């Protein structure tokens, strides 16, 4: 447990947040499947991403940690063995708390010539895997839930061949889409994934950089299609992982909420499929400026954030839903904290996916904000936040969810009294240095 007080100083200075978690996962996976070596800088060495590394080491992939000799920058080198180079693991593949590792690797494992079992911690064993079992089975994979409940552990047995399919995903999910695409690398016909909205497209962007023939299409109504033409080998490359927008979001919130603050956050990934929170906050009046933009592979920029009084539309209301949700699904807990201080009513809808994250984030966010004095209510697919009421300190039950812990640590900055974050260690899943960085920018 960590005890926090209302901040006495404004948020100032500059900060670099850890590398993007989604891109870090994929850099290891695709590097392992590529021919030749892949060199990765900016890699996020968090619990989730280290789980991905350990899984591939168990399948015979050599992965080295070192420092660049000229500047001392940490370097991860993955010695790829090509699409057919993985070997049978010597034990169950354990993914820790990582849904990305579990779901994406299932797509890769579905096409291998050996049997595997893949599982994770207690949270992973409750998260729905039927959403990948169904399409992978349609591709010819032999993948089953060991307990028959559509959750991990998953048992994946070898098959003679898997095939390309056209799959209509009921949800816009990058993990579902990516699992299908990665299995599609091993087919001899096109793999097509239709989504109701474009989910984050890190897989498509990075696979294309590795040499795959893959592209996205978005129609005028907002639905999206990913198309993979298989047959091309992947080739090792150099990857610089940008800062994680999900991690940056907590400090964007801090600078917006604490009066007179001004914070520069360096090298943040601003992929449009991930940066929904920036667009929403700007619509609410947030002063967020971009500098030094770089659009190579993954777009990134420096973000300058200044304190802003946030508001709704002319009717005093602001609604977040529809196609915006996939672009900010992981940021909704911190968005709710921001909305609690905004001078409006904020409605978050179409976000039922929050119920099957590391915790039920609808219930967890609503319960903890109520403890802090917020006027908030849960709905079936989101929440309604009546903003503007002062917050006070409380005991925060994180449910061992890293995004809840960090969101309410930011809430503590503007809450009168003492806030205690229970199970604060869970931030190590995605941002091991979070509390050190928080102390840095608050000048504590």
Going by the DSSP 8-state scheme, the letter that residue 112 receives in this structure is S
* Shared domain check, 220 and 319: no
Omega cis (within 30) before 153: yes
Nearest to 26 by CA among 231, 269, 189: 269
Surface-to-core class of residue 91, CB atoms within 10 Å of its CB (0-12 exposed, 13-18 middle, 19+ buried) = exposed
- Asked, for residue 238, whether it belongs to a domain, the answer is no
What pLDDT score was predicted for residue 70? 59
* Shared domain check, 250 and 213: no
For tokens 């207690």, the residue is: 122
The CB density around residue 255, as the number of other CB atoms within 10 Å, is 27
Q: Where does a domain end: 228, 260, 278?
A: 228
What pLDDT score was predicted for residue 72? 61
What pLDDT score was predicted for residue 240? 94
What are the residue ranges of helices labelled H in 34-169?
47-58, 99-109, 130-138
SS in 3 state form for 315-338? CCEEEECHHHHHHCHHHHHHHHHH
Cβ(363)–Cβ(335) under 8 Å?
no
**How many Å apart are CA 115 and CA 212, to the nearest integer?**
26
What pLDDT score was predicted for residue 66? 86
Paired tokens of 297: 């592979």
* Shared domain check, 247 and 216: no
Cβ(265)–Cβ(15) under 8 Å?
yes
Going by the DSSP 8-state scheme, the letter that residue 186 receives in this structure is T
Cβ(264)–Cβ(301) under 8 Å?
no
Domain that holds residue 104: 21-228
**How many Å apart are CA 101 and CA 124, to the nearest integer?**
10
* Shared domain check, 295 and 164: no
* Shared domain check, 291 and 197: no
For tokens 């839930």, the residue is: 145
What pLDDT score was predicted for residue 110? 98
What are the residue ranges of helices labelled H in 261-329?
276-283
Catalytic residue selected from 20, 330, 350, 424: 330
Whether 330 is catalytic: yes
Nearest to 101 by CA among 85, 73, 123, 82: 123
- Asked, for residue 236, whether it belongs to a domain, the answer is no
* Shared domain check, 255 and 143: no
- Asked, for residue 38, whether it belongs to a domain, the answer is yes
* Shared domain check, 256 and 216: no
- Asked, for residue 296, whether it belongs to a domain, the answer is yes
Cβ(345)–Cβ(317) under 8 Å?
yes
What pLDDT score was predicted for residue 318? 96
Number of helical H runs and strand E runs in the chain:
12, 23
Q: How many domains does the chain have?
A: 2
Read off the CATH number of the domain in which 25 is found: 3.65.10.10
For tokens 């994929």, the residue is: 26
H or E element at residue 371: helix 361-371
- Give me the residues of the chain with pLDDT under 50, please: none
- Asked, for residue 404, whether it belongs to a domain, the answer is yes
* Shared domain check, 256 and 132: no
* Shared domain check, 110 and 32: yes
Q: Where does a domain end: 173, 193, 228?
A: 228
Cβ(390)–Cβ(396) under 8 Å?
no
- Residues contacting residue 288 through CB under 8 Å, at least 6 positions apart: 252, 278, 281, 282, 303, 304, 305
* Shared domain check, 13 and 162: no
Nearest to 45 by CA among 56, 53, 37, 33: 53
- Asked, for residue 235, whether it belongs to a domain, the answer is no
- State the pTM of this model: 0.90
* Shared domain check, 35 and 156: yes
Which value, to the nearest 10 degrees, does the dihedral of the CA atoms of residues 404, 130, 138, 96 take?
Answer: 60
* Shared domain check, 357 and 265: yes
Q: Where does a domain end: 228, 262, 282?
A: 228
């Amino acid at each position: 447990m960590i005890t926090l007080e209302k901040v006495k100083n404004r948020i100032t200075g500059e900060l670099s947040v850890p590398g993007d978690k989604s891109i870090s996962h994929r850099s290891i996976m695709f590097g392992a499947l590529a021919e030749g070596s892949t060199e990765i800088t900016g890699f996020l060495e968090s619990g989730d991403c280290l789980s991905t590394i350990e899984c591939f080491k168990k399948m015979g992939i050599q992965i080295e940690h070192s420092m660049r000799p000229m500047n001392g920058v940490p370097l991860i080198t993955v010695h790829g063995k090509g699409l057919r180079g993985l070997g049978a693991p010597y034990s169950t593949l354990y993914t820790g708390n990582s849904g990305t590792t579990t779901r994406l690797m299932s797509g890769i494992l579905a096409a291998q010539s050996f049997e595997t079992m893949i599982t994770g911690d207690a949270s992973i064993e409750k998260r729905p895997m039927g959403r990948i079992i169904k399409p992978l089975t349609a591709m010819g994979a032999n993948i089953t839930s060991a307990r028959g409940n559509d959750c991990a552990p998953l048992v994946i047995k070898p098959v003679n061949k898997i095939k390309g399919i056209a799959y209509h995903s009921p949800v816009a999910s990058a993990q579902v889409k990516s699992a299908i695409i990665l299995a599609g690398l091993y087919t001899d016909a096109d793999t097509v994934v239709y989504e109701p909205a474009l989910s984050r497209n890190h897989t498509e962007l990075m696979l294309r950089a590795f040499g795959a023939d893959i592209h996205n299409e978005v129609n005028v109504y907002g639905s999206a299609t990913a198309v993979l033409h298989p047959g091309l080998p992947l080739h090792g490359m150099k990857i610089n992982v940008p800062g994680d927008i999900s991690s940056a979001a907590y400090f964007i919130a801090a600078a917006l909420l604490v009066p007179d603050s001004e914070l520069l956050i360096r090298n943040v990934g601003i992929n449009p499929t991930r940066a929904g929170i920036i667009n929403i906050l700007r619509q609410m009046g947030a002063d967020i400026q971009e500098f030094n933009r770089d659009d190579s592979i993954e777009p990134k920029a420096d973000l300058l954030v200044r304190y802003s009084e946030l508001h709704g539309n002319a009717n005093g209301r602001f609604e977040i839903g529809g196609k915006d949700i996939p672009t900010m699904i992981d940021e909704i807990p911190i968005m709710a904290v921001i909305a609690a201080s905004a001078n409006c009513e904020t409605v978050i809808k179409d976000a039922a996916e929050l119920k099957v994250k590391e915790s039920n984030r609808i219930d967890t966010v609503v319960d903890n904000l109520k403890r802090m004095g917020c006027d908030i209510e849960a709905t079936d697919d989101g929440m309604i936040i009546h903003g503007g009421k002062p917050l006070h300190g409380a005991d925060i039950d994180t449910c061992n969810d890293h995004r809840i812990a960090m969101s309410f640590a930011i809430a503590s900055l503007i809450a009168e009294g003492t806030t205690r974050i229970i199970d604060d260690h869970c931030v190590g899943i995605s941002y091991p240095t979070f509390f050190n960085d928080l102390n840095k920018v608050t000048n504590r």
